[in-house]
A and B are shown apart, each in its own frame.
Chain A
Amino acid sequence: MRLIPRLAPAACAELLSVDLTSERVERAPYPLTAARLGGVSVAVELLASAIGGPLDPLSPENPLVFAPGPFAGTAVPAATKHAVATISPLTGRLTDGLSSSHWSGALRRLGLSALIVQGARANWTVLAIDDTGVRFLDGTALLGLSPAQTTQRLREMLGGRHWRVAAIGPAGESGVRFATIDNDGRQAGRGGAGAVMGSKRLKAIALASGTDSAFEIADPERVQTISRALRERALGPDTAKYRVLGTGANLRVLQRMGMLPTRNFSSASFEGAERVTPERAREEPEAYLERRSGCANCPVQCEHMYVRRTRDRKAASASEYESVWAFGPNCGVDDLDAVLDAVGRCDAYGLDTISAGGTIAFAMECAARGLIDVDAFGTPLRFGNAAVLAPAIDAIACGEGLGATLGLGVRAAAEAIGGGAEVLALHVKGLELPGYEPRALPTYALALAVCTRGACHNRAAAYDVDLRNPGQVLPDEARAAAVIDAEDTAIAWDALVLCKFTRHCFDDFWSEGATLWSAVTGEPLDPAGLRDVARRTWQRKRALNEKLGWTPAEDVLPVRLGEPLREGPYAGARIDSASLERQRWIYETLRS
């Protein structure tokens, strides 16, 4: 254990750097200016400045950056969030994720604009940070525990529920490349930040701060007024689908629209969709118990958790669309209970559900083609076999047998399996595809291909352009411009770190977002300035990837998407690689 000098309690703008190898801890001014805002823009700036060239993401040289949103811990609703940035072990490129809730607020209330962790420990360690300093605690006794169990145990060790914990689970410990970092039941999920944390032998970061903000709000009256208005709108029809139904309601709609990726993207329609939709659990209250959950200071509380009434209520699992899709339609499984169990299992292990489901779907297809042992997990590794989900997830998380190969993610697993498995691996830059059908959503398809993070649906949310006008034919220039606008908009949200589920609560996000920033910080910002930060941050993301070895050849979509959909309203739709390349070229021209 080592205690450093007391942190300045009211500082709202300091960077805390922790070198795990040397135990060196430094604090330096790092103000949240209007030129950098917070969250993703700060995390990417710091990461980019710490990296000189290509590196092994699981080496001590890979920094792990946490940056709270500028509104975290304030009255602004749905804004107590933070960004996590590191180099992904799945892609070898930048991964920038978001998480939220009490840990984010504690980070900000400690007076930090960011925390950067570098180096690695010889033994498993916990960082405990409060306003007395940073301590390096032995984390050996926590090995094998889930993030929730780790949180509980650390609170017992450290003495109170006011300790907020971000932790990895067993998957992060064993180096699964799509392991998550969990805090307060929320996850920085995609890209394997949990594996990076595990490679540093860092089991958890525990934060304790006072409950009051350690920073002054520039115009508290204005912030209260804006926050009250946002809160009221967030309790109205603008967020009703998230608040009342949860994102799981997407499943029925995407099935109806013929855009539901099924069986490793071999189809866009799942005959078992109605049996596996989380809405079914909601509509059967006699069979399922529903629990609601959500982030700190968020009126939406979008997380709808379900469990059979015959089971312990603590076994309730989150029913977010992507998670249910990954183990349901994408694996051809129509057993809702098995899917919910798979989601809960991933949360306990600290695994990204999209990558876990995508990897199992890939393995199912490999097994069907005789490339791997169909009985590797004791029950047939076959589309539709609900019983194989649990043993497959267990094996992946623990790195056992075929699970060790699948834990590398589909790109590396396909290389290891060989025999043409590469064409069955649905990924962009190594990150597994999420649950929207790119062949039916051409703007989204371009956004996936060029995304600096790989196949992430949230770094641009460009599917919205397509869904608003299904089947619309856009000129390539307009499509490329729409992707750029969607990317910049998402970056602005992620730099202010506002929950995108509240986007309909703003009449003019650029203007209102800038106003909110100025009211909180006192720093002038107008809509043009907010856009500038977004553009600069995108440039930093691209420049960082270039430093790591990115080339345009990586901005492509999986081979399978070149095959036409065989049925449904988008029958015949396919990704034409020449057309995509033309759009990508226009995108690059517009970006430059």
Chain B
Amino acid sequence: MTIELFGMARELVGAPSVRLDVDEPVPLRSVLEELAAQYPQLVGQVLAPLTHAPLDPNVVLLDGRRAHGLDEPVSDADRPCLLFLPSGG
């Protein structure tokens, strides 16, 4: 599964997207746990230390809408992306 990264997630990982080896569909929780395992630098900055849920203002979008919760099943077709909520300027 490919996850697009934006903002601090991209900055910390150093790439615009990452490929995770997971069986699809998979709960979002498992995707984020795998992401945290492969890129521990995200933990505490973009992902919460214990739950690995996105830390505000970061969110996961699936097909352009916000994921309903960590149990929502995700597949590559959802074009998941980890980004931050834009503001100000």
Contacts and interface: CB of A to CB of B under 8 A. Distances in A.
Interface of A: 237, 240-242, 244-245, 247, 249-250, 252-254, 256-258, 320-323, 325, 434-436, 457-458, 461, 463-464, 467-471, 500-501, 504, 569
B68 to A, nearest CB: 10
Contacts of A500: 87-88
A458 B64 contact: no
B8 A245 contact: yes
Given A237-B44, A245-B11, A256-B81, A470 B66 contact: yes
B50 interface: no
Contacts of A253: 6-7, 83-84, 86
Given A253-B84, A500-B88, A241 B65 contact: no
Given A245-B7, A252-B6, A467-B86, A237 B55 contact: yes
B64 A471 contact: yes
Nearest to A320: B89
A269 to B, nearest CB: 12
Given A241-B8, A241-B57, A256-B6, A250 B89 contact: yes
A501 B87 CA distance: 9
30 contacts: A237-B8, A237-B55, A240-B8, A240-B45, A241-B57, A244-B8, A244-B11, A245-B7, A245-B8, A247-B87, A250-B86, A250-B88, A252-B6, A253-B83, A256-B4, A257-B61, A257-B64, A257-B83, A257-B86, A320-B89, A322-B89, A323-B89, A435-B89, A461-B87, A461-B88, A467-B85, A467-B86, A468-B59, A469-B65, A469-B66
A457 B59 CA distance: 21
Interface in B7-23: 7-8, 11
A166 B61 CA distance: 43
A435 B6 CA distance: 19
Interface string B53-74: 0011101010111100000000
Contacts of B11: 244-245
Nearest to A461: B87
B12 to A, nearest CB: 9
B65 to A, nearest CB: 5
Interface of B: 4, 6-8, 11, 44-46, 55-57, 59, 61, 63-66, 81, 83-89
Which A-B residue pairs are the 3 nearest by beta carbons?
A321-B89, A250-B86, A322-B89
A322 B87 CA distance: 10
A240 B44 CA distance: 11
Contacts of A322: 89
B89 A237 contact: no
A197 B37 CA distance: 57
Contacts of B59: 468
Contacts of B61: 257, 470
Contact of B57 (A325, A457, A504): A504
A237 B84 CA distance: 12
A97 to B, nearest CB: 14
B46 A237 contact: yes
B40 to A, nearest CB: 14
A467 B61 CA distance: 10
B85 A464 contact: yes
Contact of A237 (B45, B83, B85, B86): B45
Given A256-B83, A469-B66, A470-B65, A249 B7 contact: yes
Contact of A250 (B55, B66, B87): B87
Contacts of B8: 237, 240-241, 244-245
Contacts of B7: 241, 245, 249, 252-253
Given A468-B59, A470-B61, A470-B64, A247 B89 contact: yes
A320 B89 CA distance: 5
A194 B23 CA distance: 59
B64 A501 contact: no
Contacts of A467: 85-87
Contacts of B65: 469-471
A478 to B, nearest CB: 17
Contacts of B55: 237
Given A237-B8, A237-B44, A504-B57, A258 B64 contact: yes
Contacts of A457: 88-89
Interface hub of B55, B57, B89 (most chain A Cβ within 10 A): B89
B88 A247 contact: yes
A100 to B, nearest CB: 13
